Structures are given as C-alpha cells and as structure tokens.
Chain A
C-alpha cells in the first residue's frame, strides 16, 4: 500500500494538470496579496481630497438639517410597523466625522480569518478538480485496466489513489496558506494595524489554516472518488459545478433554512470554528400584518465537523464498493 501510494504520488506530481493547477493557485494567491495591499494602502492625495469634500458637504447638511431630521424621525416613529426598531437607533443622526469618509485602517486580526477562509475555498475547489482528473483520466484512457493487471487488489489500488491525492495537496495547501498568512501580515504590518496580533490570534489563525489544509486533503480525495464514480474528469467537474450552482446557489436561496444541511455552511463552520447564517422567519405581527424578519443563527464547529466527516466517509465507502465490484471493460 505504501509503495503504491508512493507511485501514485509520483504520478500525481508528474501530471501536467497538477503542475498547471498548482501554478494557477500560486498566481491567484499572489493576486489575493495584491487585494490585501489594495485594502490596506492609504488613500492617494486625490482620494483624500475627494473624501474631504464629501465630509464637508455632509457636515454642512448635518448642521443645517440634522436637528430637524431627528425631530421628524421621532415624530414618525409611532407609525413604524411592529415590532418597532429602537427610537434611539432609528433616529440617531450623529455629527459626521472625517473618518467616516476616509478609509478604515485594516486590522490584521480582524480581517485575516475571512481571507484564509476565502483562500481555502479556492484550494479545495482546485484540489477537487485535480483529484477528479487524477482518477477520472485513468478510467477515460483505460489505463486502469493495465494498472490492475499489475496490482489486482482493488481496495489497495483505490486506497493508494485517494491517499496520494490527499497527501499530495497537504504541502500545496500548507505553502499557499502560509504565503497568504505571512504576506498579509507583512503588508498590513507596513500599511495597516497588526498591533493586536497576540499569541492567541496567531493560534486561532494557525488552527483555521490547519483545518483548511485538512479540508483541502479531503477535497482532493473526494474529487478522486467522484472521478472514479463518473469515470471522466469532465463529468466530475460538471457535477461539482452543478451542485454549487443548483444546490448551494438556487436551492439555498429559496430555502435558506436548509443551509445547515449544505456543504458550504458546514465548511465555514468547521474552518472558522462556528459560523453565523440568516434565515427569514415570517409571521403575523402585533398589528395583524404579515412580517418577515431576518434572524441570525449560529452553526457550530461540531455540526460542521460531523457533517463533513459523515459526507466524506459515505462517499469514500461508496466509491470503494463501486470500484470493488465494477467490471473494467475499457
């Protein structure tokens, strides 16, 4: 098994799609760092002038109309449908400041978790596609038949392929996330705010990165399973895209209470260690009218971990059972 896994790792590394895919991921990582720089960079002189003009106009309006707007808002508050928002919140016309029109300082500890999460989407998607191609191409070219005449123990063959796909992406994901994390720290350290980056923050970020690497490895292996089940890279990509568009996009949009049972939210919950989502809850208000409110809910890390673990185990077992029994006729 170990020898077979070593062979499969060498094959994975020698494939052109793997090389192109990894280079593509590195290029996108560089672009993400450009985005970090763009978010953190100070405003140019032209942008600062424009922000100052906008501030002056807003302040002048507030001086002239702010009190009147507040009085009118408080007078109209009674007409708001139930449940009414707090009057102090609804009618808080505070004096504008210059900072409202400038650019907020980017804080490393606050923004980096989401950047890591975004990069992990990219990595998992790339790993899934390359994993699907890695196994699917063997079936579409018929090379699997030749391979099985050298090693007929199918479950070993299957295990070695999935293990190679998963292990092959661990260093890739580790390097990419490390580049992103350290690059972000250096850029924000120069242009933004890294003062609150305590050991605890570093620990949280490392944990997010570690969990993302684990999911990238699982994504590569599941890509291999889907490639094996569908026997063609293009079919595997089609299924993945179809799922993302139809289920995560359209279905989740229509039925947002189903989100805890879809992949993306569980992915977020696992990587970010809990996540929040919103569901619309509708019903009759105090005044008898029909009211919908967007309610924030939390999906726990444990839910995400169990969900993803069960999905992965079921798919791996299904792929193994199919491969064990399948006639290889091509």
Chain B
C-alpha cells in the first residue's frame, strides 16, 4: 500500500440550518491521497468537497470518523503537521486593506519564515510588481496567485487547492494548472478539488470522486474515467440509417448529432469501425468523445443508487 498523505475513514459532518433542518454534508467519507503527485478530488457542487477539506484543516469539526495527514491524526495533532500543509479553501481570503506583501509578511512572521521568503514567493507567482498594491485592488487571478504564494511560504509537502480556477480567465486557468502540475512534479502532494473533470484530468495523477458526501470511485485518472463508462464515439459515415441499424443491433445506442452519429456503449471504438466495415459501410471520421464528469458522476450515482 502506498504511503498516504491524507487518509479519512467514516468521516461525517452534519449541518443544521437556521430552521433546524439537518443537512448531511459528508457521510462516511473514506478518502486516500497517496504521497506525491496531483490528486483530483472531484464532485459536483454541494457534494461535500469543501467541507471535507475544512475538516482536514481543522476549520470545521467532524461529527464522526477519523482523519490522518502524513500519519498524524487530525485535528488533534494538526499543529505537528500544519507546517507541511499549504491550503487555499474556496476563494482567497486576506486582509483587503493591506497590500499583498503586507499580508504575506504577517503570515511569514506567524510561522517564523524569514522575511526574504516573501519576496521570493511573490516573484515565483509573478506578483513581484504588484506586491505593494492593496489586496482589494487585485484581480481574481492575482488573488489566487497571492494565495498560492501564501501556501509556498511554508515550502509545504502537501498543497490543498479548493476549486482553484473558479472565476479565472483561460490564461489564469492555464497558469494555475501549470503551477499545480509543477508542484506535483517536484514530488509534493497536491490535492485539487474541482467539479470540472477536464480541468483535473489534465493535471491529476490520481482521482477520487465523491457524491452526496460519499466516495464513489477512486484510483488513477484512466481507471476512474475509463472504468466508469463505456466509450462514446462520434462517427461520420455516408448512410446514417443503415449504420444506426447495424450498431443498434449490436447493442449500442445511436443518436444523430449533425453530420455525425453519436454512439454509446461500444466496448472499444474499433468495434464500431469493424461492424460497419463488415456491412461495407466505411467510416470517414471517428472521434472518441471523452466522458464529462456529469456523465461519469451520473453513472456512478446510478450504480450507487443515490
């Protein structure tokens, strides 16, 4: 069994609304995050990702279950490992009237990091020029970069990013993605929560999918996405009617999609070309359609009966 950066067992958290209604945010979550590399923590909005992260960081008290970070039970022994954890939970929160540099200086002083480290992490996150500007004047991308700079003050072994690309433009998303990948390549453990599969798929080595506060699937990206659903392919062929008839007879589901046919249920894309070629229908284009989180998630929740 690989060494684990994060391990939770039976983690549970229930909130009470102002009207007294109980909402189960996390119900018995078992999560394993191996040491090193990028681990995607996937789930739709409201699935319990942020609450789970908050419990790991000691911000929210768990009702039941156990958690360890680098083998230390948290929150009891969180102070022993907090120096190895850098985290951004939801949107970056700093003192808005202070400059980015001032915010980082206060944090650096709190953890006993040398002041020179502030300049270094500002440069690393391309904020060197704007460090003296007030945090409230920063764009969302700059705020996110400042939050990353704050996490780097500790030179952490585990970085936790909660929905890090929310609200960012494409350039910002790419920048954050490259930063996370780079940190993972340095041997650090990066836990990135997101509801966008494509985003995680590009950076993550391993992934966990949760829904309704429970783990639905976990493993390498290829295992989870590939194993969760049969391939969907877009097929360009001259005779739609005949092709649809042949593929449907083979147990596949066929829908028209403009000049293509969308084919679900093929064990492998090659099955489609083989079956059509046997009937002298030749495929001019065959495009594998990647599963979206939504389809993977819906399939997983259907299997789980949620």
Q: Are A150 and B93 in contact (CB under 8 A)?
A: no
Instruction: For B86, give the chain A residue with the smallest CB separation.
Output: A149
Q: Are B82 and A149 in contact (CB under 8 A)?
A: yes
Binary A-proximity of B70-90 (CB < 8 A = 1, otherwise 0):
000001001100100111010
Task: Kindly identify which residue among B85, B95, B102 contacts A149, using a CB–CB cutoff of 8 Å.
Answer: B85
* Residues of B contacting A95 in the complex (Cβ-Cβ under 8 angstroms): none
What is the CB-to-nearest-CB distance from A205 to chain B, in angstroms, rounded to a whole number? 38
* Residues of B contacting A143 in the complex (Cβ-Cβ under 8 angstroms): 93-95
Q: State in angstroms the CA–CA spacing of A6 and B106 once bound together.
A: 10
The answer, yes or no, to whether A141 is at the interface (CB within 8 Å) is yes
Q: Are B102 and A14 in contact (CB under 8 A)?
A: yes
* Residues of B contacting A153 in the complex (Cβ-Cβ under 8 angstroms): 79
With A3-B112, A11-B95 as known contacts, state yes or no: A148 contacts B61, CB within 8 Å.
no
Q: State in angstroms the CA–CA spacing of A239 and B53 once bound together.
A: 34
List residues of A (125-153) whose CB comes within 8 Å of B's CBs.
Answer: 137-138, 141-143, 145-153
* Residues of B contacting A16 in the complex (Cβ-Cβ under 8 angstroms): 97
Q: Are A4 and B79 in contact (CB under 8 A)?
A: no
* Residues of A contacting B267 in the complex (Cβ-Cβ under 8 angstroms): none
The answer, yes or no, to whether B182 is at the interface (CB within 8 Å) is no
Q: State in angstroms the CA–CA spacing of A328 and B51 once bound together.
A: 10
The answer, yes or no, to whether A15 is at the interface (CB within 8 Å) is yes
The answer, yes or no, to whether A72 is at the interface (CB within 8 Å) is no
* Residues of A contacting B93 in the complex (Cβ-Cβ under 8 angstroms): 141-143, 145-146, 330
* Residues of A contacting B111 in the complex (Cβ-Cβ under 8 angstroms): 150-151
The answer, yes or no, to whether B169 is at the interface (CB within 8 Å) is no
Task: Kindly identify which residue among B54, B57, B106, B154 contacts A7, using a CB–CB cutoff of 8 Å.
Answer: B106
Binary B-proximity of A1-30 (CB < 8 A = 1, otherwise 0):
001101100110011100000000000000
* Residues of A contacting B277 in the complex (Cβ-Cβ under 8 angstroms): none
Q: State in angstroms the CA–CA spacing of A146 and B96 once bound together.
A: 13
Residue of A138, A141, A150, A151 ringed by the most chain B CB atoms within 10 A: A150
Instruction: For B154, give the chain A residue with the smallest CB separation.
Output: A150
* Residues of A contacting B86 in the complex (Cβ-Cβ under 8 angstroms): 149
What is the CB-to-nearest-CB distance from B270 to chain A, in angstroms, rounded to a whole number? 49
What is the CB-to-nearest-CB distance from A260 to chain B, in angstroms, rounded to a whole number? 38
The answer, yes or no, to whether A200 is at the interface (CB within 8 Å) is no
Q: State in angstroms the CA–CA spacing of A4 and B79 once bound together.
A: 14
With A327-B59, A328-B59 as known contacts, state yes or no: A152 contacts B110, CB within 8 Å.
no
With A152-B58, A153-B79, A327-B61 as known contacts, state yes or no: A6 contacts B97, CB within 8 Å.
no
Q: Are B96 and A148 in contact (CB under 8 A)?
A: no
Q: Could you write out 10 A-B pairs with CB less than 8 Å apart?
A: A141-B95, A145-B59, A146-B89, A148-B58, A150-B154, A151-B110, A152-B58, A152-B79, A325-B61, A329-B60
Report B's interface with A, CB cutoff 8 A: 54, 57-61, 75, 78-79, 82, 85-87, 89, 91-98, 102, 106-107, 109-112, 147, 150, 154
Given contacts A143-B94, A149-B86, 15 further A-B contacts (CB under 8 A): A3-B112, A7-B109, A10-B109, A11-B98, A138-B95, A141-B94, A142-B91, A143-B95, A148-B57, A148-B58, A149-B59, A149-B82, A149-B87, A327-B61, A328-B59
